[in-house]
Amino acid sequence: MARRRKGRDVNGILVIDKPQGVTSNGILQQVKHLYGAAKAGHTGALDPLATGVLPLCFGEATKFSQLMLDSDKAYITTAKLGVRTETADSEGAVVAERPVPDGLTEADVEAVLADFRGDIEQVPSMYSALKHKGRPLYEYAREGIEVERPARPVTIYELTLLAVRPDELDLAVKCTKGTYVRNLVEDIGEALGCGAHVCALRRTLASGFTLADAHQVADLEQMRERGESLDGLLVAPDAALTMFPELTLEGPNLQSILNGQPVRISGQSLTGPVRLYGDNRFVGLGEGQPEGADTTVVVPRRLVSSSR
């Protein structure tokens, strides 16, 4: 006998403004319960200290969560100067304290920040969720075990100094996936000669969504208490895929794609992910493979169920 699914079919993306002091998974489970959803996932965890943009995927939208995870991110962070911690943020134990340079100016900081813009390499923190032999690094760290971590290339598209105070810096960062702002702040502190750690972190961009798109969990709870539906807050899965070109299919080509078969498109040259539409709806994501000067073979990769 087939197992009965717990929860209802809910499909789409909901952007949450994650509050401080809770895990991303904790927020996911809370919102999933509010929706009574059968299937949900998030697109990249924020530390409990961090707040801000956290896109949650429901149902069919979970098929695209990896692509959303791979998107660029943006943050505003406050760096506490003169103090290093074991986790590179204010939740970790202090491991070193040094005086902040007297009379630190914006010019002094800008001279250091220049070295951290563009393509750089980072050694991930032992307190990250990266896995070693199937276990996250932070589990080893809590046991006092140090694991060798190779440096990883990341790109810092923007690194803007917003404010300088006697022992703090406010920074805006836009970066590629896999960038650890904690490590970035720690390295900037070392370059300034005094060390630093993150004492505030707010994500302002993820998967193309900004804080303007985000909802407060408390507002969702109040809506439920008033008996209002939350479904109208969801956005379609393709809202997170606008960085990819769009292709509308008709007739036999549409039917072939829906049957999981590749199609040949004349008059276009498409490479990589392609948003596919047909019958006035988003049908999924394909991959364009150029064949000659003006022909593309489109292979279906992630299709949305037509019953959803």
Q: Which DSSP category does 69 fall into?
A: H
What is 54-68 written as a DSSP string? EEEEEGGGGGGHHHH
- Residue length of the chain: 308
Of residues 17, 47, 213, 238, which has the active-site annotation? 47
The CA distance from 204 to 9, in Å, is: 29
Torsions phi, psi for 28 (to 5 deg):
-55, -50
Distance, in Å, from the CA atom of 186 to the CA atom of 188, rounded to the nearest integer, reads 5
DSSP one-letter string for 153-207: EEEEEEEEEEEEETTEEEEEEEE-TT--HHHHHHHHHHHHTS-EEEEEEEEEEET
Contact 288, 274 (CB under 8 A): yes
Q: Is the dihedral of CA 104, 162, 71, 50 positive or negative?
A: positive
Q: Which residues of 214-226 are buried (b: 16+ CB within 10 A; e: fewer)?
A: bbebeebeebeee
| DSSP output for 249-301 | --HHHHHHHHTT--EEEET----EEEEEEETTEEEEEEEEEE-SSSEEEEEEE
Per the annotation, the verdict on 47 as an active-site residue is: yes
Tally Cβ neighbours within 10 Å of residue 96.
11
Coil, helix or strand at residue 5: coil
Contact between 56 and 254 (Cβ < 8 Å): no
Which sequence positions are flagged as catalytic? 47
